[in-house]
Structure 1
Amino acid sequence: MTVTIGRRGLLAGTAAATVLAPAAQASGEQISVTHWGVLMYGAPYAVAMEKGFFREAGVNITGILTSKGGGTTVRNVLAGGLPYGEVSLAAAVAAAREGLDIRIVNAGAATVADILWVTTPDNPVKTIKDLEGRKIAFTSPKSVTEMLVIMSLTASGIDLNKVERISTGGIGAGLTALRQGGVAAAPIMDPIWAREQGRWRPVFFVKDILPKMTQTVGITTTQFAREQPQKLRAIIAGRRKGVDFTYANPEEAGRIFAEAYELPRELGVRAVKNMVEVGYWSRGEIDTRALDAMVEGLRIIGEVEGPVDWSRLVDRSFLPPDLQATG
C-alpha cells in the first residue's frame, strides 16, 4: 500500500526507512515494525516501551526500525536489530516463497477495519452501490487498497466493469483527486481519518462488507527462534501487554502513541479510540481463516499464486499458552 502521510504533517511524506524511534537508547535493542511513525500498527509497541512491558517480560526493547513496508521491512528483520518484526502478511508470504528462512509467530493487525472509502459532503454518492458508472480511487497497483476495492465491489454484487478504478499513487493524492472531482470516492485510514473525518463523508467501511482479514504478522528467523526462544517469547508477551493496556486504557495509550509518532495529542487519542472500537490489534493469536481471507484477496491482485501451507510457515509455540489454540 502506498501511503503519503508523514510524522507531523499527516499528508506531507512517508516515514524514512530504518529510522529509530526517539526513545531508542544505545543500551537497548531494536525490532522492526512496518510503517512505524505513520500507520496504526505500532501503537502497542509504543505503549509497551513506555510502560516497561518489554522489560518486565525479559527483553529491553527501546527503539523501532521502520520502513515503507513490504520486502524492505522483511530485510530490516533479517539485517538490523533483533530478528523480529511486524510486517504485512503479503510480505511474509512473498519472503517465504523466495526461500527466506522466516516463520510467522504472532498476528499483528487483526482486521482491515481501519480502511474506508469517503467522498465529499455534497457528493450524490451515498453507498457503495452508487459507485456504478463512476470512478473510485485506490493507491497503487497490487496494493491492499486495490485488493479491497475489487473485493468490496464484488461482494456488493457490483459489476467491476461498471466502476472505473483509478490508481492515484497515495492516500493524499486520492483525497486531492476526490476534492477536485476526479473520482467519486477515495480511501482513507487512521490516523488521517481521525484528523480529517469532519471534511469527508463515509461511503463504505471495508469492515461492513468483507470478513476478518489479518493485515500484519510478527515474523522471525528459525535461527533466532532456536537460539533465543525466551527473548522471542518476551517480545510477543510485551506486545500483548501493550495491546491489552491499549484496549483497557485508550485515553492514556492514545497519548503515548501521539508522543511516539509526534502527533497532536488529541489526534493520537482519537485514532487509538477508533481502532479500539473495531478491535484492530490482535493480542497475538493466529487465526488461519483470517490469514486465508487476506491471501484470497492477494490472489485477486496477483500477489500470491497457489495455496499457502500454514503448517510450514506458522509457529504458534512462542505465543502465551492461552493464545496457542489453532483457528
Structure 2
Amino acid sequence: MFLHRTAALSVALTLALGLTACGSDPGPDADPENPVTIDVTVSAAAEIYSIPWLVAQQQGLFEKHGVIVENIVPGKGGSATMRTLLDGNIPIGEVSYPSIVQADAGGSELRIVGGGTQGPYPMNFYALASNPSINSIDDVRRWAYTRPNSASDALTLLLPDLAGVDASKIERVSSGGIGEGLALLEAGSVDIALIPSIVAEQRPEDFKLIVSSPDYMQRFLQSTITTTKDYAESNPGVVRAINAGYTEAVASIKADPEAAAQIYAAYTGFDAASALAVVERASSVDTWGGGFDPASVTSAQAGVEASGSDREPDFCTLFDPDFLADGVARDMPVDCTT
C-alpha cells in the first residue's frame, strides 16, 4: 500500500510540473484558415491505438477543423504515456484509463474529453508455439503485462476471475512494455505475454493464442482522449477539432478499411495484408469510438478496483462532454444531470 501511495504521489507531482508548462503557453486556438500545429501522444503507437489518429492525420480530418497533428509521439503504456503527455509539453493524447484514475481521479487537473479505444481487442495474450506446456489459461503460471496502471495490467487482474481460474496460482510480471514482454516470452521467462496484433498476424507459426480478452468481455476502455483542465479551457477549439477529426476517422476506417490499412502499413512497415486483417477485425467489433461509452468505462473501472486502488473517480468532473463531436454518445455510468 505504501508503494502504491508513493507511486500515486510521484505521478501527481509530475502532473503538477507538467501543468505549469502547458498552462504557461497554451498556444492559439483552432482556425481552419490558419491551423495550429501540435503533437499528440498515443500509447503503443505502433499498435491499433494509433490507427484513427493516423487516418485523421493523413486524410486531413484534423486540419479541416483547424489543427495539424505533426507528430504522433509513442507512449509506452500506463503512467509512462501520462508522463509523455505532461513532461513533453504535449497538450493532448490517448492515455490509458487506469493511469488517469491513479493520477487524478477527482478531475482537479485532468479532463477526459473524448472517446478512444473502447473495446478489448487486441488485448490478446500468447504463448510460444513451441511450448507444449501452455495450451489454455489453466496452464498459465507467469503472465506478463506491460506496465502498472496500463490496460494490460487491469486485464490480467480481471481475466482469471472471468475465466474461473484460481488467480493465486498466477504470478503477474510487469515487463516494462510490449516489446519487453515479447522478449521475456521468447526467453522463456513468462508463459504468456501481450503480443502486438500485427506481429501475431505476421508470425502465426511462432505464437499460439491462449487468452483472448474479447472472449470474456465486450467493452473495455483501454485508453481515452485526455488533456489538462487548463489546456481545455484555453484551447477549446483545438480540443473540439481533435475530437471531430478522430470521430470522422473512425467512420472513415469503417467505410474504407483498405485505405486505413495502407496508412497503418506505411507507418509500421508491416505488410498490407496483415495490416488489413488487424484493421478489419478492430473495426468490426467497434474498437474505437468518438463518444463516451458507459459499458467500457464500467469494465475498465472494475480493473482499477481489482488492482486494490482506493482511487474513486468523480465521473461527472473527470469526463467532460463539452468537447465531443456532434452525434456521438455522451452517456456516463452515473447520472451527471443533477
The answer as to whether partners of 1:29 and 1:63 remain within 8 angstroms in 2 is no
* Residue of structure 2 equivalent to 1:59: 67
* Residues in 2 aligned to 1:162 and 1:87: alpha-carbon distance in whole angstroms: 31
More moved, 215-224 vs 77-86: 77-86
Tell me the alpha carbon deviations over residues 250-303 of structure 1, each in whole angstroms, 9 at most, x when there is no partner.
Answer: 111111112233444444333323322332211x1112332132122122224x
Q: Identify unmatched segments of 5+ residues in structure 2.
A: 1-34, 333-338
SS in 2 for 1:30: strand
Equivalent residue, structure 2, for 1:185: 192
* Residues 228-243 of structure 1 mapped to structure 2, 5 A cutoff: 228-243=235-250
CA contact (8 A) 2:97 2:221 kept: yes
Shift of the 181–227 alpha-carbon distance from structure 1 to 2, 3 Å rule, reads closer
2:322 is aligned to 317
AA matched with 2:297: L
> Is residue 105 from structure 1 mapped to residue 110 from structure 2 by the alignment?
no
- In the aligned structure 2, how far is the partner of 1:177 from the partner of 1:77? 28
Q: CA deviation at 1:107?
A: 1.5
- TM-score scaled to structure 2, two decimals? 0.76
Aligned with 1:196 (options 193, 203, 216): 203
- Counterpart CA distance in 2 for 1:231 and 1:82 is 13
Q: 1:229 to 1:197 in 2, by over 3 A?
A: same
Which residue of 2 is the match for residue 274 of structure 1?
Answer: 281
CA RMSD of aligned residues (A): 2.9
Is contact 1:147-1:298 (8 Å) kept?
yes
- The within-5 A match list for 1:75-94 is 75-78=83-86, 83-94=91-102
Shift of 1:321: 3.1
TM-score in terms of structure 1 length: 0.78
Which residue pairs with 1:96 in the alignment?
A: 104
Q: CA deviation at 1:170?
A: 4.5
Q: Deviations over 1:12-59 (max 9, x none)?
A: xxxxxxxxxxxxxxx851232223642221111111111111122232
- Unaligned residue ranges in structure 1 (runs of 5+): 1-26
- Percent of aligned positions with the same letter in both sequences? 28
Distance in 2 separating the partners of 1:137 and 1:36: 16
Q: Give the one of 131, 145, 153 matched to 2:152.
A: 145
Partner of residue 294, structure 1:
300
Q: 1:183 to 1:274 in 2, by over 3 A?
A: same
Specify the alignment match of 2:11 in structure 1.
none
SS of alignment partner, residue 308 of structure 1: coil
